[in-house]
Structure 1
């Protein structure tokens, strides 16, 4: 299947992908970036203020919402530096609302419904973006982008803007990062070397079995595979089974649709994967086999411990991640453990991949114009982006002597988490390609990103977003059924045949066919407009 979602990790469609199978600063002044960054920042200011001569005489306090590993101990110090910089640039400050993953969705839904001030907010496709647009939660951005977002238009690949477009209008601006997606599994390099494993020898998920058996026998204290059925962890991150490769990855996730419905690219028809996709059924049975052999942690269906946390705690030797350039180096720095990764599929551009990280301006914004200026700076000003991403120089990082644009942890600090600012939001804000590089990353990382993006190809359903309004009751019920059964089917914890039979029976009884028909109807209408 063509899986099409990431950044980390983390995302709603990937949390159900198996059921649907088939994404700086400087000193205390906050402005001591390298001369190259300073010149870019100066250009950014010109791009923001430009010929439109925006009126910034009135001070604004803009409320900015995002989600991540919050709370962070040093949030106040970082936000204070951000605000010093923004006061100089656009006479504004931010009221930074960093929400934890556990409560973010609920709190944002309440904020939209209550009319609370929302100036800038993280609004990815997988977090009910299309429905929030339909409910009027976000402002259309076309005019604002034209007047105050010239820097965005000059630096962002225009293909990204399709991700934030609904019915011909732009409602969100995607992050400038990898435009396509591919996923991987990463492993501790010390154990890979200890047992003579060759990452280049792994072509399919099944090829890992000898590795898993070795780890089970010789490293009994750790799980060969750690899954968390209650979270977003899934072996679907590495979508290269023998069955899926034989079928040439024919199934695609459908943006906005329940994960149990996928597009069969050979027939151009929507199918219910757990009933009609041999690829999906094969994968679930493979998980059952691996669970019975002891390769998967015994509490996989119920544990609240994510693969990431289990890895950091030494309970497993593997973790999931993106196969974008240098992702293994990024994760090695983040965890403090050297990692190697498997080669994923070639990157694919989908509606999900160009929209899995976006920022929108709320309809309750006190100043949409100033908010767009802020968003423009996030895409063009390295001083601001590095402050948000990495914190304050001297507190969260130090410059690498003799290496322009490289940073490292201060002496005596083991991991980024120990600095007080490591919320994991780099993939959410602005323009990744103007940020610092960590010591150990490739100097040509952003050139690799450019090549990676150029190599990405569009999936068949690119641009299509399913609107659930006509079947919202059925979608709500079916989504709850998926949530109920996903931990069992994605971890192989119980007899797959029995669970799958019960799962399909419930889907049929609660409207999956009506949803499938509506997705097909909308897809056919959308497809007709493309020709």
Structure 2
């Protein structure tokens, strides 16, 4: 009798267990089917790539969507543009009223779109839906990016200090000619290296600009407010604004790159060149390019271009006025939901899985882990997702660390920042609205002349006076006076 009863109980328990498993399975299946069939709000995120648009972008996008669907019930569409095309692309989207929810606004873009009232004021919604951002970035950094008391964008989390006048050199050629990179301390030392390469590798371009012009990474001044129309000399240690183009130092820098051009170190046909920096490196067309310095820079560049690199820095390490506000993540007026956009932005700043997907792609396909905890490129497929822009993503400090870097890289960046020269203009934002017409005019003139002057194509003794004359006629002095006026008010308010 007891055995029969026990068997009955056991059968009943088995039936109950099977029923529970069956119920859980079908409930999960129904939930999954609902998720698959559900129409999610889709949010458009725009940012630039420093290389080419990744072949596997849509695969990575879908992996991100798996997270955003479960976390905040939205989907994302990644709009990625080449760096040189980005500004025009996002401005066109905004003007044409196309959906654009989240956008990386590099300093010059942020200034212009804000003046056109194309960005959402974040003062209130960041308190409601962006607490993770505040914790990750810090209130002081957010305050430093305010314009006229309002938050129009939040800074990304990265190292804010910059090593100026830096150069990335191909390691294979450094080794081939037994060049001691640690002994390169001055421009004279660097020119001796350039001469070695020029004489022994006549088919190579010795040096190209990493970004637009050779002087972009060369400034011994603080681009106060994120532009060169009125600067603070001596890495921002002087607190009186000067006209950069009237300084002896600017002329000396122009004469330097002109000398390099005449010696044959630089590219003679820059306007006929359609190759990206990535293509020039992969096709072995160049020896060196300009770049800013920081801990891990060699490995960063190597991971972008799959070529071993050496880095030298001749200038100082400093934090400029625009350092914190250089990369601002914004919500545009074209968004379909300000509140939901802020929730999504908050997720980007706090979710390590999304950050690693955006920065490095998919684990197992694009990167793998090494035994010591680093990540490295996966064989064959690694190059299908590289953009060279992890420094511009919302929170680099929650991502994996690439092979070749110290596992304490994020701590190293903090230490690098602590030892940097601090500009007296940190936290100052220049409102161009009072001189908007003049600002746009002088920017256009500078853009036209800088490409030839700052790449050594023309004699600065002839063309610098021409540029200055046109800048003065367009209203440069008024822009500088307005910047100085705002800067003096800011100093009084901040007791500097």
TM-score by length of 2: 0.85
Structure-to-structure mapping, 1:279-318, within 5 angstroms:
279-300=249-270, 303-318=273-288
Structure-to-structure mapping, 1:370-381, within 5 angstroms:
370-381=340-351
Note if contact 1:361-1:371 (Cα within 8 Å) is conserved in structure 2. Answer: yes
Note if contact 1:163-1:351 (Cα within 8 Å) is conserved in structure 2. Answer: no
**What corresponds to 1:237 in structure 2?**
217
**What corresponds to 2:137 in structure 1?**
156
Structure-to-structure mapping, 1:508-519, within 5 angstroms:
508-519=472-483
**What corresponds to 1:138 in structure 2?**
119
Instruction: Give distance in 1, aligned partners of 2:136 and 2:435.
Output: 39
Worse overlay, 453-462 or 211-220: 453-462
**What corresponds to 2:151 in structure 1?**
170
**What corresponds to 1:273 in structure 2?**
244
Is the aligned partner of 1:410 residue 2:378?
yes
Note if contact 1:348-1:456 (Cα within 8 Å) is conserved in structure 2. Answer: yes
Describe the superposition over 1:33-88 as per-residue Cα deviations: whole angstroms up to 9, x where unpaired: xxxxxxxxxxxxxxxxxxxxxxxx99432221222245322122111111111111
Q: Secondary structure at the match of 1:491?
A: coil
Structure-to-structure mapping, 1:494-513, within 5 angstroms:
494-513=458-477
Aligned match for 2:232, one of 256, 263, 268: 263
Aligned match for 1:479, one of 443, 448, 460: 443
Pick closer, same or farther for the CA change 1:329–1:102 going to 2, 3 Å: closer
Cα displacement (A) at 1:285: 1.0
Higher relative contact order (CA 8 A, sep 6+): 1
Larger radius of gyration: 2
**What corresponds to 1:393 in structure 2?**
363
Cα displacement (A) at 1:267: 6.4
Note if contact 2:304-2:387 (Cα within 8 Å) is conserved in structure 1. Answer: no
Note if contact 2:171-2:310 (Cα within 8 Å) is conserved in structure 1. Answer: yes
Note if contact 2:258-2:458 (Cα within 8 Å) is conserved in structure 1. Answer: yes
Instruction: Give distance in 2, aligned partners of 1:412 and 1:157.
Output: 40
Pick closer, same or farther for the CA change 1:466–1:155 going to 2, 3 Å: closer
Cα displacement (A) at 1:123: 1.3
> How many positions carry a matched residue from both structures?
454
Is the aligned partner of 1:454 residue 2:418?
yes
Aligned match for 1:525, one of 484, 489, 492: 489
Pick closer, same or farther for the CA change 1:477–1:411 going to 2, 3 Å: closer
Instruction: Give distance in 1, aligned partners of 2:93 and 2:239.
Output: 39
Describe the superposition over 1:435-472 as per-residue Cα deviations: whole angstroms up to 9, x where unpaired: 11222222221221221233334311222222222222
Note if contact 1:142-1:170 (Cα within 8 Å) is conserved in structure 2. Answer: yes
Q: Secondary structure at the match of 2:391?
A: coil
Q: Secondary structure at the match of 1:237?
A: coil
**What corresponds to 1:118 in structure 2?**
100
Cα displacement (A) at 1:202: 2.1
Instruction: Give distance in 2, aligned partners of 1:521 and 1:75.
Output: 46
Pick closer, same or farther for the CA change 1:412–1:471 going to 2, 3 Å: closer
Cα displacement (A) at 1:487: 2.0
Instruction: Give distance in 1, aligned partners of 2:238 and 2:347.
Output: 45
Aligned match for 1:422, one of 381, 386, 389: 386
Cα displacement (A) at 1:374: 1.8
Q: Secondary structure at the match of 1:271?
A: coil
Cα displacement (A) at 1:119: 1.8
**What corresponds to 2:53 in structure 1?**
71
Instruction: Give distance in 2, aligned partners of 1:117 and 1:223.
Output: 42
Cα displacement (A) at 1:281: 0.7
**What corresponds to 1:209 in structure 2?**
191
Aligned match for 1:109, one of 68, 72, 91: 91
Instruction: Give distance in 2, aligned partners of 1:292 and 1:189.
Output: 25
Any gaps of 5 or more consecutive residues in structure 1? 1-56, 240-248
Note if contact 1:225-1:297 (Cα within 8 Å) is conserved in structure 2. Answer: yes
Q: Secondary structure at the match of 1:261?
A: coil
Note if contact 2:213-2:451 (Cα within 8 Å) is conserved in structure 1. Answer: no
Instruction: Give distance in 1, aligned partners of 2:420 and 2:469.
Output: 38
Worse overlay, 129-138 or 167-176: 129-138
Describe the superposition over 1:485-527 as per-residue Cα deviations: whole angstroms up to 9, x where unpaired: 1122112222221112222222233222222222222222222
**What corresponds to 2:403 in structure 1?**
439
Cα displacement (A) at 1:479: 1.7
Instruction: Give distance in 1, aligned partners of 2:480 and 2:136.
Output: 39
Pick closer, same or farther for the CA change 1:149–1:344 going to 2, 3 Å: farther
Pick closer, same or farther for the CA change 1:268–1:302 going to 2, 3 Å: farther
Pick closer, same or farther for the CA change 1:444–1:492 going to 2, 3 Å: same
Instruction: Give distance in 2, aligned partners of 1:81 and 1:373.
Output: 18
Q: Secondary structure at the match of 2:439?
A: helix
Cα displacement (A) at 1:157: 4.0
Describe the superposition over 1:356-396 as per-residue Cα deviations: whole angstroms up to 9, x where unpaired: 21211123322222222222222221111111111122321
Cα displacement (A) at 1:225: 1.6
Note if contact 2:238-2:424 (Cα within 8 Å) is conserved in structure 1. Answer: no
TM-score by length of 1: 0.79
Instruction: Give distance in 2, aligned partners of 1:369 and 1:477.
Output: 36
Any gaps of 5 or more consecutive residues in structure 2? 1-37
Cα displacement (A) at 1:344: 5.0
Describe the superposition over 1:76-107 as per-residue Cα deviations: whole angstroms up to 9, x where unpaired: 21111111111111111112222233432223
